[in-house]
Amino acid sequence: MTRQQSWSCRAAQAVQRVQAAHRRDEKTSEAEYLRFAKGFPALVHNSGLCQALAFALAKKRRGYAEDLAYTLGLSLSAEELLELSRTASAASYLRLSREVLAASSWLKRYAEALLKDDEQNQEGEEP
């Protein structure tokens, strides 16, 4: 399987997870999931993978972290993904970081396309 074929499969996994996000976690609204999905790739770039995942878990975004693991093709919980990033060798950490950035970009794209943002809804309403 080529890298492109692999990511096509992962894109399908990402869209499934984003579509199910608001049904799975009733405490997190679509707008909150969308905002977090938009900001997560930058968070990984600025702070690093381990810190970004720790932040996600601290801010009760476990569902997003599990969606990320699923999109990566890993059958891990959010905590296990954090532990994997924490204990990985330098080379494995860099590879995992690149893969997470790619997966989080897919989640971001589909969240922007499929989920409702409360601010957009308010701006688009007629007075």
pLDDT at position 126: 43
Gap between the Cα atoms of 117 and 34, Å rounded? 7
pLDDT at position 11: 79
Q: Is residue 66 part of a domain?
A: yes
**Residue span of the structural domain in which 88 resides:** 3-113
Q: Is residue 74 part of a domain?
A: yes
Tally of structural domains, the chain: 1
- Decide: residue 61, CB within 10 A, 0-12 exposed, 13-18 middle, 19+ buried: buried
Residue 106 belongs to domain with CATH number: 1.10.520.30
12 pLDDT higher than 70: yes
Average pLDDT over residues 19-29: 65
Q: Is residue 119 part of a domain?
A: no
Q: At what angle do helices 30-47 and 90-114 cross, to 10 degrees?
A: 150
Is there a contact between 54 and 82 (Cβ–Cβ < 8 Å)? Answer: yes
pLDDT at position 1: 62
Whole-angstrom CA distances from 61 to 6, 35, 42, 76, 92 are 26, 11, 16, 15, 24
Average pLDDT over residues 76-103: 93
Q: Is residue 31 part of a domain?
A: yes
120 pLDDT higher than 60: no
Q: Is the dihedral of CA 124, 115, 109, 55 positive or negative?
A: positive
